[in-house]
Amino acid sequence: MLAAVLLSAGLFAAQPISVTHAARAVGPGEVVLVTIAGAGARPDVHAFNRTWPAFAGTGHAWQSLIGIDLATAPGRYEVTVAAGAARAVHPLVVTARVFPTRRLSVDPALVNPPPEAAERIARESRELAAIWDASPAERLWTEAFVRPVPDPANSAFGTHSVFNGEPRAQHTGADFLSPSGRPVNAPNAGRVVLAGSRYFSGNTVVIDHGQGLFSLLAHLSEIDVAVGAIVSAGDVVGKVGATGRVTGPHLHWTVRLEGTSVDPLSLLYVVGASRDGTDRRVREPILDSSR
């Protein structure tokens, strides 16, 4: 009888959870892909004082994308995973990252907007904040992320921006030096939640990929989708242009992950598709410098 009781208890004992991670780097602005094995039910994932959604990965594993905020100080942090009675703690050591400074000359009205633009700017800021808070709980993407344009990135995420001699916020996206009129592709599947002109970003498209993950594509010359459209990876959503606060034609791609701005190139590294489709990780260098 005792053996039977012990056997029964063993059957219902919490199974061990193993946690691993993959990342281009573990530093401010980076995306970390966490893989969780041994959790039967969808696990709860906590890190950096946030909860990160989990989704079904390959095999029987669960996965979660974690974004490291630009303001995160170097040091040791923990990813806590819980599934039923089972719990695991996985360390992440965030290293320091030095961001360069760029100095640009743009239309003065786009550095210090005139009073008549204040209401528009405030309204657009509120609209975008509401979009970031309204992502569905389910994941809308299932395939690898793709580059929105084939051109290399030429401006680093996190760069300190100085416009017309005045310091402004860090650059929270990646810029691609693409020619005007080049088609811009959806980085992955999702729903278009914004398609229109913005004061600073010009003609802009925002795609909600679900689970708090968004792509914002800015400075377009044309917009080829409407709000509510369902897009797949590679679908054309617009064309490269020079609208908004720019110095010339290029594509700006911002990625938001659960309220955190992260480097799009780091997202491509952990869940991206290479050109030949054989490697999901894009080995593109981190564009930062101490100069």
Confidence band for 169, pLDDT divided at 50, 70 and 90 = low
Return the CATH fold of 101-271. Answer: Glucose Permease (Domain IIA) (2.70.70)
- Mean pLDDT in the chain? 84
Write the DSSP symbol of residue 79.
E
Per domain, the residue ranges of the chain are: 13-94, 101-271
Average pLDDT over residues 210-234: 98
Which of 49-58, 92-101, 171-180 comes out lowest in average pLDDT?
92-101
Please list, in sequence order, all residues whose beta carbon lies within 8 angstroms of the beta carbon of residue 136, skipping any fewer than 6 positions away: 208, 210, 211
Average pLDDT over residues 211-224: 97
**pLDDT above 80: residue 6:** no
Average pLDDT over residues 53-58: 91
More confident residue, 9 or 268: 268
Confidence band for 234, pLDDT divided at 50, 70 and 90 = very high
Q: Residues 64, 46: contact at Cβ < 8 Å?
A: no
> What is the per-residue pLDDT for 271?
96
Angle at 42 between CA 39 and CA 44, to 5 degrees: 95
Q: Is-same-fold flag (13-94; 101-271)?
A: no
**pLDDT above 80: residue 167:** no
Number of Cβ atoms within 10 Å of the Cβ of 145: 25
Q: Does domain 13-94 have CATH number 3.30.230.70?
A: no
Helices H / strands E in the chain, number of each: 3, 21
Residue whose token pair is 């190139």:
265
Number of Cβ atoms within 10 Å of the Cβ of 169: 8
Q: 61-75, 155-169, 265-279: which has the highest mean pLDDT?
A: 61-75
What's the order of all strands across the beta sheet hosting 18-22? 18-22, 31-37, 62-67, 54-56
More confident residue, 61 or 277: 61
> What is the per-residue pLDDT for 168?
60
